[in-house]
Amino acid sequence: MDEGRGGMVSAGGVLSIIGGALEVIGGGLMVGLVGTGVLPRLWHILLLPGPGDPFVKFLPPLWLIVVGGILLVLGIVAIAGGVSATKRGSFGLSLAGAICALPSGILGLLAIIFVSLGKREF
| pLDDT tens by residue, the chain, 122 residues | 445 556 889 999 999 999 999 999 999 988 888 777 676 666 666 665 555 555 555 556 778 888 999 999 999 999 999 999 999 889 999 999 999 999 999 999 999 999 999 888 87
- Contact present, 100 and 1 (Cβ < 8 Å): no
d(CA 50, CA 53): 6
CB atoms closer than 10 angstroms to residue 15: 26
- Contact present, 88 and 121 (Cβ < 8 Å): yes
- The pTM (predicted TM-score) of the whole model is 0.78
Question: In a 3-state reduction of DSSP, which class is residue 53?
Answer: coil
d(CA 90, CA 88): 7
Half-sphere exposure of 58 (CA within 13 A, CB side): 5
Residue 120 CA to its chain's centroid (Å): 26
Question: In a 3-state reduction of DSSP, which class is residue 7?
Answer: coil
Taking alpha carbons only, the member of 15, 16, 7 closest to residue 74 is 16
- Residue 33 identity (one-letter amino acid): L
